[in-house]
Amino acid sequence: MSEQVSTLTVTDNRTGKIYEIPVTDGTVRASAFRSIKTSDDDFGLMAYDPAFTNTASCRSAITFIDGDAGILRYRGYPIQELAEKSSFLEVAYLLLAGELPSADELSTWEDEITHHTLVHESIKKFTDGFHHDAHPMGMLVSTVGALSTFYPDAKRIDDPGLRRLQIVRLIAKITTLAAYSYRHSVGFPYAYPDNDLSYAGNFLNMMWKATEPRYEPDPNLEHALDVLFILHADHEQNCSANAMRAVGSSQADPFSAAAAAISALYGPLHGGANEQVLRMLAEIGSVENIPAFIAQVKDGKKKLMGFGHRVYKNYDPRARVIRQVADEVFKVTGTNPLLDLAMELERIALSDEYFVSRKLYPNVDFYTGIIYQAMGFPVEMFPVLFAIGRMPGWLAQWEEGLLDPEQKIARPRQLYVGYDQRPYTPMDERKSVEDSNIDPIAAQAAQAAPERPLR
């Protein structure tokens, strides 16, 4: 993509000075504002942007999103076409290599992934050390991070061959670690990978295999899971991708960076939204209760989970694909009673001007929880499934950051709002707030310098 350069004229009303700031591809370099000063010893202007809502932290060629138009593309390919025509490992190759693989390239890639699914036997002992009710995501964070101790060559991030090896290892082994975390939580023996199965089929094998000599996954469920992994494979600079890039910028090994990304995904605002949808639907209970629930949402007493998105101001394109996946799954499992409730809730909400005017459309989380539940996955496994699908995207973002000559170790600026310098207070002169009715944190805010209050 060629750069389109123009300029922005800025007049500093504090000094009357005029500045010409380059505009490249619709963006302004934040560092350019450093030249805008009131005096020689002035630090210069900074951009204040909590949560990076309007700041581009990198240049990326991986994923394109147009939230207003409801568009999602991986390396230029629409998500709908990839979900319909490609396998998950084919999409993973696309994200990492930049192009769709040839038949030979895909065969080699699949073979590499398949033959790296085994993990060291010590990982099983490590997993056994967790309490029986440990959350699978907590176990996944720990075991993925622990892999770096088994592969010290992962620290050699400047070696392209070794980088590729770690990428293969992570995509292959996360399914094994994820299945181990589940089986430990229910007290089942660990099932080894089956190299004759597909990526999704092998994961189902490691999840559900019991006493049968060989597990045969249902082809409809296998395909549905593969599509769901595709839909989650990348989503631009989201919280977990940002964590992956930030940790990777310190030149940490990819296992450590991936553990950080999984930790970010562990948060309920990122990887746990589909669980909240299930809880909401269970609370509504029946179709007859939907109008009353909608009224409470409008009054601010309830939240409509699974609707709206930080980026999309239109129908999430992934949600359209998921509706088709749901039909495929329910042919095998039988209809989930929550599906009729969800479809009616969607119909009512999308015919209500209150939600339409606010551009609150169903997102990817609205139906995934219902599908996962129908397939037999407990809610604790929902973010784990998300992590499996997202791993190729994280790794593509990680490697792109490493190879970008403009990138440095991540180190955001801050706007300091605390005290100015003050004299040290001896112990016998300090006032205690523990015995008063004043909250210590509130007291701290009250004592802050009035011209620079804490917030």
> To 5 degrees, how large is the angle CA 406–CA 407–CA 410?
150
The whole-angstrom separation of Cα 29 and Cα 454 is 29
270 a catalytic residue? yes
Which helix (H) or strand (E) segment is 24 a member of?
strand 18-24
365 a catalytic residue? yes
Name the catalytic one among 226, 234, 309, 316.
309
131 a catalytic residue? no
Tokens of 144: 């993925």
The whole-angstrom separation of Cα 330 and Cα 224 is 10
Name the catalytic one among 120, 135, 270, 352.
270
Nearest to 235 by CA among 1, 56, 394, 361: 394
Give the strand pairing for 18-24 and 27-28: antiparallel
The whole-angstrom separation of Cα 414 and Cα 46 is 9
Rounded to 10 degrees, what is the CA torsion of 142, 147, 148, 149? 100
Name the catalytic one among 194, 226, 234, 365.
365
Length of the chain: 455
**Residue position matching structure tokens 């192009």:** 99
Secondary structure class of 436 (helix, strand, coil)? coil
- Cβ atoms of residues 106 and 89 within 8 Å: yes
- Cβ atoms of residues 179 and 191 within 8 Å: yes
- Helix pair angle (337-350, 273-284), 10° resolution: 90
Question: Which residues are known to be catalytic?
Answer: 270, 309, 365
